[in-house]
């Protein structure tokens, strides 16, 4: 059977991708951020997963406001990088794993999660920046990817508790897939940031550090946190952190934090990167 | 049963967060045409047509007079008040070659350099949070 071999939580700030694409990672502004990525990249290179399930959000790229799926799974063979207004990022296309993706859809719907099926979907920075953070600039991404798009832009977003429960159901689905795939799961977005309004530029490092502690040690308690609390404490866009709960839900109750890096700022955002393994 | 519609004052647990425009159903309905116009800037053709005649492009998408004026004047806060979502309205800034820090500064009364320095210094204190008042 397939198995989940680790979980990654990471910010997906567009400018991090732009720094990689533009060869700026050694510049003084970016160096402290990228200095903290090496160990996580080594972990991934050694772990050699076959598949990554990436919980991310689309930012007005694949989905408009005419249809807003709360959870959508990409079942395609390939997902092209999206044009978000700058032209597509110069990164490889993302290759899917339709067999496992369809198994996830079947298993999750049987488990009463009403998943939207996406058979064509361009993927934006929300998905490709985490790949760049973990894999740098390969000619092809070193693993298959199953995009899991989560609505975090249009209120009402799903609750943190729902995201955590979805992660648990994803774990059950992977565990029952008749293959030998080794799977990592990503929760992306955050950490604290606010792009909009008079409060733009908000950072709350105290919240971010408390969040990562609780995510590791007591994720059930973290599911009590309201969406409004994320917006209030971590900024209106900091609510993306609910996607880290999907990742955490797919892991064992007890985990080891094998890597952690936190840096302010990446553009307008507090950038965090965590790697968990089942204990 | 309390139904949800534009103009009905329903209290929300995020209403008192200062300086924040939560993109809920009220905003989404109000801003639909504006955001739809911004979405079209995902294509090269859309960007070229917008740049060639911004006012006509706004009219084609059925923006209100207020929305059109806010777009033409690049009034970023006003676009949010009129239902714009930052991920959508930022596509106009991309056409202008502006960074998110320039737009963040414009929304909070700072220059791009001031905003960038504030971020380097640790960001804006979380005013309105439960722990920071």
Q: Is residue B12 part of a domain?
A: no
Q: Give dist(CA B77, CA A109) in Å, integer.
A: 41
Residues 6+ apart with CB under 8 A from B92: B38, B41, B50, B71, B74
Residues B75 and B133 in one domain: no
Same domain? For B83 and B30 the reply is yes
Residue B62: other Cβ atoms inside 10 A = 13
Q: Which pLDDT score is estimated for B65?
A: 98
* Band (B11; pLDDT cuts 50, 70, 90): confident
Dist. CA A190–CA A12, nearest whole Å: 7
Give Dmax over CA atoms of chain B in angstroms: 50
- Structural domain that includes position B63: 25-95
Report if residue B11 sits inside a domain. no
Distance from CA of A142 to the nearest CA of B (A): 28
CB contact at 8 A, A211 and A243 = no
φ and ψ of A53, to 5 deg:
-95, 120
Cross-chain residue pair B32–A200, CB shorter than 8 Å: no
Residue B126 and residue B88 share a domain = no
Q: Do B107 and A197 touch (CB under 8 A)?
A: yes
CA distance A215 to A220: 8
**Residues B34 and B79 both lie in one domain:** yes
Q: From B38, which residue of chain A is nearest by alpha-carbon distance?
A: A60
Q: Kindly report, residue by residue over B36-87, the tens digit of the pLDDT.
A: 999 999 999 999 999 999 999 999 999 999 999 999 999 999 999 999 999 9
The CATH-assigned architecture of domain A3-278 is 3-Layer(aba) Sandwich (3.40)
User: How many residues does the structure list for chain A?
Assistant: 279
Do residues B32 and B76 both lie within one domain? yes
Name the residues of A annotated as catalytic. 125, 193
Please state the separation of Cα A261 from the chain's center in Å: 16
- A64-to-A14, A197, B34, B37, B40 alpha-carbon distances in Å: 19, 22, 12, 11, 10
Q: Considering only the beta carbons, identify the residue of B22, B104, B109 that sits closest to A231.
A: B22
**Residue A72 pairs with which residues in a beta bridge?**
A116, A149
Asked if A84 and A37 count as a contact pair (C-beta separation under 8 A), the reply is: no
In this structure, is residue B74 part of a structural domain? yes
Q: Are residues B79 and B131 in the same domain?
A: no
Angle at A152 between CA A3 and CA A235, to 5 degrees: 115
Give dist(CA A18, CA B132) in Å, integer: 33
What is the pLDDT averaged over residues B116-132? 89
Q: Which of B22, B42, B130 sits opposite A155 (nearest CB)?
A: B22
> Are B39 and B66 members of one domain?
yes
Instruction: Supply the CATH number for residue B53's domain.
Output: 1.10.700.10
Name the helix (H) or strand (E) containing A7: strand A3-10
- Tell me what pLDDT residue B130 has: 76
pLDDT of residue B116: 98
Number of domains in chain B: 2
> Is B5 a domain residue?
no
From A268's Cα to the closest Cα of chain B, the distance in A is 6
Residue of A nearest to B108 (CA): A198
Residues B54, B67 share a domain: yes
Q: What is the pLDDT along chain A (279 residues), one digit of tens a residue?
A: 999 999 999 999 999 999 999 999 999 999 999 999 999 999 999 999 999 999 999 999 999 999 999 999 999 999 999 999 999 999 999 999 999 999 999 999 999 999 999 999 999 999 999 999 999 999 999 999 999 999 999 999 999 999 999 999 999 999 999 999 999 999 999 999 999 999 999 999 999 999 999 999 999 999 999 999 999 999 999 999 999 999 999 999 999 999 999 999 999 999 999 999 999
Does B14 reside within a domain? no
Residues B88 and B74 in one domain: yes
Cα dihedral A92, A94, A97, A98 sign: negative
| B32 lies in the same domain as B91 | yes
In the numeric block, which tokens belong to residue A249?
A: 């839900």
Transcribe B116-133 into DSSP letters: HHHHHTT-B--TTSTTT-
- Strands (DSSP E) contained in A51-92 are 51-56, 71-74, 78-79
Q: Where are the domains of chain A?
A: 3-278
Q: Is residue B75 a part of any domain in this protein? A: yes
Query: Is residue B133 predicted with pLDDT exceeding 90?
Result: no
Question: Do B74 and B125 fall into the same domain?
Answer: no
Residues B90 and B123 in one domain: no
What's the complex ipTM? 0.96
CA distances from B82 to A84, A192, B26 (A): 22, 25, 10
Residue B106 domain-assigned (yes or no):
yes
Contact B17 A232 (CB under 8 A): yes
- Give how far B89 is from chain A: nearest CA, Å: 10
Domain assignment present for residue B19? The answer is no
Tell me: pLDDT of B1 over 60. no
| Helix extents (H) in chain A | 14-21, 31-35, 38-47, 98-110, 125-135, 160-175, 205-217, 219-222, 227-234, 242-249
CB contact at 8 A, A58 and A79: no
């Amino acid at each position: 059977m397939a198995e989940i071999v680790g979980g990654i939580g990471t910010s997906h700030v567009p400018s991090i991708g732009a720094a990689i694409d533009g060869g700026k990672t050694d510049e003084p502004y970016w160096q402290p951020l990228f200095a903290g990525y090496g160990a996580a990249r080594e972990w991934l290179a050694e772990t050699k997963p076959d598949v990554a399930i990436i919980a991310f959000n689309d930012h007005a790229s694949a989905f408009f406001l005419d249809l807003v799926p709360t959870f959508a799974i990409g079942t395609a063979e390939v997902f092209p990088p999206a044009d978000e207004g700058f032209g597509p990022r110069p990164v490889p296309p993302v290759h899917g794993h339709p067999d496992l993706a369809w198994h996830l859809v079947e298993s999750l719907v049987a488990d009463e999660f009403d998943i939207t099926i996406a058979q064509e979907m361009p993927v934006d920075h929300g998905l490709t920046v985490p790949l760049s953070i973990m894999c740098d600039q390969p000619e092809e991404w070193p693993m298959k990817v199953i995009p899991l798009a989560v609505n975090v832009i249009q209120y009402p977003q799903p609750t943190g508790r729902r995201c955590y429960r979805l992660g648990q159901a994803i774990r059950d689905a992977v565990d029952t897939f008749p293959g030998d795939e080794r799977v990592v799961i990503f929760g992306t977005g955050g950490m604290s940031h606010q792009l909009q309004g008079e409060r733009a530029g908000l950072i709350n490092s105290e919240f971010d550090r408390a969040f990562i502690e609780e995510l590791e040690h007591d994720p059930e308690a973290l599911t009590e946190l309201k969406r409004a609390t994320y917006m209030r404490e971590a900024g209106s866009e900091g609510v993306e952190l609910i996607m880290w709960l999907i990742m955490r839900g797919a892991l064992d109750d007890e985990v080891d934090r094998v890597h952690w890096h936190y840096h302010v700022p990446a553009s307008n955002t507090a950038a965090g990167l965590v790697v968990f393994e089942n204990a | 049963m309390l139904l949800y519609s534009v103009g009905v004052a329903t209290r929300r647990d995020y209403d008192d967060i200062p300086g924040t425009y939560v993109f809920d159903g009220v905003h989404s309905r109000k801003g639909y045409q504006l955001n739809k116009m911004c979405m079209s800037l995902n294509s090269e053709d859309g960007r070229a047509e917008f740049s060639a005649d911004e006012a006509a492009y706004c009219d084609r998408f059925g923006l209100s007079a207020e929305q059109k004026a806010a777009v033409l004047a690049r009034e970023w806060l006003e676009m949010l008040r009129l239902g714009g979502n930052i991920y959508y309205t930022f596509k106009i800034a991309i056409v202008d070659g502006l960074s998110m820090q320039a737009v963040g500064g414009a929304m909070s009364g700072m220059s791009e350099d001031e905003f960038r320095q504030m971020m380097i210094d640790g960001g804006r204190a979380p005013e309105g949070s439960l722990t920071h008042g």
